[in-house]
Amino acid sequence: AVCSMGNSTSRLYSVLAKTLSSGAVSQHQDCLEQLDPAQLDPIDPKELLEECQIVLQKRPPRFQRNFVNLKKNTASNHRPIRVMQWNILAQALGEGKDNFVQCPMEALKWEERKCLILEEILAYKPDVLCLQEVDHYFDTFEPLLSRLGYQCTFFPKPWSPCLDVEHNNGPDGCALFFLKERFELVSSANIRLTAMKLKTNQVAIAQTLKCHETGRLFCIAVTHLKARTGWERFRSAQGCDLLQNLKNITQGAKIPLIVCGDFNAEPTEEVYREFSNSSLNLNSAYKLLSPDGQSEPPYTTWKIRPSGECRHTLDYIWYSQHALNVNSALGLLTEEQIGPNRLPSFNYPSDHLSLVCDFSFNQDPDRLL
């Protein structure tokens, strides 16, 4: 059977509707099951953004966030590389386990929340996108982002807590996306993190990419470390394992490195110090937003659970400071924007804020090693 997708708007709606559960779109399911994203036409991001905004028309508009220019007087003739880091909140956990007591269940409906997530991604147009808590990879993010020109990789947790939730959509995990028009994949590694020589439930993806414009190589990694207090030594061990893997992949920092992740660790934790003091010469990009360039933001996640208010800095973009420059970073939402009920909300789809940085290659990368 041949499925006619109609004009661009109805074609986009068919893709967006793929995970809608309402009876109004059930007639599309048989057609959608047969569609291979690789064989579909590319999507115009502006059209997809408009489609998302139609779905979201009853919700408040997106918050305004501005980029802060951090560029030193270093001339570069090449486009910067925009990297986005975001724990998007697994749908099964948001609805089932996370107990956001001030967030109405209506705000967590996947039909609209996925459009808020897509709207955020489309607004910032990252060249490389690193996501955690992705449990709608195969039915939403891979089909849509592949048609936007991204190469997509997903590595699920071996024992995802999403699987304990009734009517779940499969395991959550880390996902990495990069624009094929800008980069070529040189190598890729799916890493199951170990701690005390034991395999754990946490994972990472590390990919070496070649920039078409400059011919330069760099490694991009995404991870999500073990959550909760009491697990600090465990996170430290996971961080050591990840760093050792990245040392091997980058040939001891010969290849520039960017590591994105929800580390579930405040800057006071040992795992943070391990990354700060690593022989890979890493710095945390969002420190550069502080007046002295030495302090992390006051929060990257802010939510209210039954136990009370949780305001923490847990998310980071680490980078090889000898080989890469941070040209700009996206400012965080203010407390006033977030509002008294905190995150997630009708305005914002996750309990974690997205982090976005523009990077350029240092012209003399060996000088600072």
* Structural domain contains residue 335: yes
Facing residues of 310 across strands?
Answer: 303
Residue 305: the pLDDT is 87
In a domain, 68, yes or no: no
All residue ranges of the chain with pLDDT < 50 are 1-10, 19-34, 367-369
The answer to whether position 278 is within a domain reads: yes
Report the distance separating Cα 55 and Cα 52, nearest Å.
5
Strand 257-262, strand 217-224: pairing? parallel
Question: How many domains in the chain?
Answer: 1
Judge contact between 109 and 51, C-beta under 8 A.
no
Distances in whole angstroms, Cα of residue 218 to Cα of each of 71, 136, 254, 268, 359: 20, 28, 9, 28, 11
| SS3 label, residue 112 | helix
> What span, in angstroms and rounded, lies between the C-alpha atoms of 285 and 357?
8
Residue 268 maps to a domain: yes
CATH number at residue 237: 3.60.10.10
Cβ 313 vs Cβ 299: under 8 Å: yes
The pLDDT of residue 84 is 98
How confident is the model over 334-346, as pLDDT tens digits?
A: 999 998 999 999 9
CA 220, 315, 334, 177 torsion-angle sign: positive
31 found inside a domain: no
pLDDT computed for residue 366 by the predictor: 54
- Residue 280 domain flag: yes
What is the pLDDT, as a whole number, of residue 6? 36
Residue with tokens 């697994």: 90
Report yes or no on 19 lying in a domain.
no
Burial (0-12, 13-18, 19+ Cβ within 10 Å), 62: middle
53 part of a folded domain:
no
End-to-end CA distance of the chain: 60
- Domain containing residue 315: 79-364
Are 247 and 274 in contact, with CB atoms under 8 Å apart?
no
